[in-house]
Amino acid sequence: MRQVDPLLGTCSLTELRQRKSVKWREYPPEVLPSFVAEMDFSLAEPIIAAVTAAVALGDCGYAHPGQLADAFAQFAADRLGWAPETAHVYPIPDVMTGLAEVVQAITPPGSGIVVNPPVYPPFRFRFGFYGRRLIDAPMARGADGRYALDPDAIEAALSEPDAGAYLLCSPHNPTGNVWSRADLAMVADACQRHGAALLVDEIHAPLALPGARFLPFLAIDHDLTRAETTFTFTSATKGWNIAGLKCGLAVAGAPAGTRLLAERWEALLASHLGVLASVAAFTQGLPWLDAVLGQLDQNRALLAGLLAEHLPGVRYAPPQASFLAWLDCRDLGLGDDPADVFQEKGNVALGHGPHFGAEGRGFARLNMGTSPELLEEAVRRMASVL
Ligand SMILES: Cc1ncc(COP(=O)(O)O)c(C=O)c1O
């Protein structure tokens, strides 16, 4: 049996099934859940200590930003080569809520938000709740299955008269792409030409894998990094697997953006436990994060071998970041939504490709944030449907 790093626990299925999060409660126990972006590893010890100490003390009130901005800035300096202005960093309850609030504040009702499908499904529906519409700038897909931003599609999307903002997913979910400086500059140039706000979701940044160099948008040299309508969003919730604790960070490009976040401080109150956990993650969670990165690096290679052996009809380009594998299942003859078939006939639940946009038809997203054993089991179950 291949061991996972002791820092990450054992990924025992018996223990995991005791969890009550959506991953473990959405489907009956015979279904192996490999869909939502939660990892199966044990939490980092410093996070457990911070949260249990607070609960033991009855310290469960409203959040104070405390050390969050400093803790994040230290992490960004150490790991991302970026020194964010701590005064521009604000806690938010989660990335999607922060994005929704900022979109409402900086774009007129009826505006279009440009996104790059296939893309994280809530990008596709969330802004409709607030009377904004999506404008798709689909990514280009090469013969090798790798994706790239498509400057022509972006230009066309931003040329729509109501295009108010561009929402870049960086690193990109579900393709796992890490964008280069040239990619970021191309997007920023296009937004600048068209007067569109630029919002960058960097939630997967702590999980850039060996071989990839993640670049925070605000660290590049571009006028738009200092614009009033530029914001980046991140959190410790993907990197350290604490989405349920509810804390993200918004970083404004300019003082006016900082004021906008400050005015909305109470509307965007993070969870107090989430702030404490995130500080622990950014300051004391690096050995754990390194263990995760090592495991994910192994898992993405292991998956290539498993697919070649058991599901040679599936095409997969290993991600440059995070724990999500975007699987091209179109040659399997399982229709537009292969995840339905994998779940019904194979008892393994994957993310539904079409939820990521029309470009996701025939695709499924597999979560690799687990042990090699459970990854193997997921692929075995997928193969059993054929
Ligand atoms: C790209 C991206 N943005 C946002 C989120 C959700 O973040 P939050 O729970 O902070 O809203 C996810 C979750 O998987 C994600 O992949």
The predicted-structure confidence for 48-90, as pLDDT tens digits, reads as follows: 999 999 999 999 999 999 899 999 999 999 999 999 999 999 9
Report which ligand 1 atom has the smallest distance to the Cα of 37.
Answer: 14
**CA of residue 247 to ligand 1 center, whole Å:** 11
pLDDT digits (tens, 9 = 90+) for 90-119: 999 999 999 999 999 999 999 999 999 999
pLDDT digits (tens, 9 = 90+) for 23-33: 999 999 999 99
Q: How far apart are CA 379 and CA 34, in angstroms?
A: 10
Which residue of 34, 39, 96, 119 sits with most ligand 1 atoms within 8 Å of its CB, as the best mutation to test the pocket?
Answer: 96
Please state, in angstroms and as integers, the Cα–Cα distance from residue 265 to each residue in 25, 347, 367, following that order. Answer: 33, 44, 34
Where would I find the H helices in the chain? 13-16, 22-25, 45-56, 68-75, 95-106, 121-125, 151-158, 181-194, 255-263, 272-284, 286-310, 338-346, 372-384
Which residue of 173, 240, 365 sits with most ligand 1 atoms within 8 Å of its CB, as the best mutation to test the pocket?
Answer: 173
What's the confidence (pLDDT) of residue 344? 98
Cα–chain center distance at 185: 21
Q: How far apart are CA 376 and CA 306, in angstroms?
A: 7
What's the confidence (pLDDT) of residue 2? 67
pLDDT digits (tens, 9 = 90+) for 292-313: 999 999 999 999 999 999 999 9
Report which ligand 1 atom has the smallest distance to the Cα of 243.
Answer: 9
Q: How far apart are CA 153 and CA 29, in angstroms?
A: 43
The alpha carbon dihedral of 53, 55, 59, 64 has a sign of: positive
Report which ligand 1 atom has the smallest distance to the Cα of 36.
Answer: 14
**CA of residue 196 to ligand 1 center, whole Å:** 22
| pLDDT bucket at 4, cuts 50 / 70 / 90 | confident
Q: How far apart are CA 254 and CA 102, in angstroms?
A: 14
pLDDT above 70: residue 198: yes
pLDDT above 60: residue 374: yes
Q: How far apart are CA 358 and CA 118, in angstroms?
A: 7
Which residue of 97, 120, 172, 234 sits with most ligand 1 atoms within 8 Å of its CB, as the best mutation to test the pocket?
Answer: 120
**CA of residue 172 to ligand 1 center, whole Å:** 11
Query: Residues 6 or more apart from 227 whose CB is under 8 A from it?
Result: 197, 198, 253, 254
Q: CB count, 10 Å around CB of 225?
A: 18
pLDDT above 80: residue 200: yes
Report which ligand 1 atom has the smallest distance to the Cα of 93.
Answer: 10
In the structure encoding, which two tokens stand for residue 175, read together? 């393709």
**CA of residue 123 to ligand 1 center, whole Å:** 9
**CA of residue 22 to ligand 1 center, whole Å:** 14
Q: How far apart are CA 49 and CA 203, in angstroms?
A: 23
| pLDDT bucket at 3, cuts 50 / 70 / 90 | confident
Report which ligand 1 atom has the smallest distance to the Cα of 98.
Answer: 11
Tell me what percent of the residues of the chain surpass a pLDDT of 70: 99
Nearest to 268 by CA among 247, 239, 238, 245: 247
Ligand 1: list residues with CB < 6 Å: 37, 94-96, 120, 169, 173, 201, 203, 235, 237, 243, 248
Task: Quickly list DSSP for 31-43.
Answer: SEE--SS---SPP
**CA of residue 37 to ligand 1 center, whole Å:** 8
Mean pLDDT of the chain: 97
pLDDT digits (tens, 9 = 90+) for 345-363: 999 999 999 999 999 999 9
pLDDT digits (tens, 9 = 90+) for 227-281: 999 999 999 999 999 999 999 999 999 999 999 999 999 899 999 999 999 999 9
Query: Residues 6 or more apart from 182 whose CB is under 8 A from it?
Result: none
**CA of residue 199 to ligand 1 center, whole Å:** 14
**CA of residue 237 to ligand 1 center, whole Å:** 8
What's the confidence (pLDDT) of residue 1? 54
**CA of residue 1 to ligand 1 center, whole Å:** 32
**CA of residue 203 to ligand 1 center, whole Å:** 6
Asked if residues 111 and 166 have their Cβ atoms less than 8 Å apart, the reply is no
Report which ligand 1 atom has the smallest distance to the Cα of 248.
Answer: 10
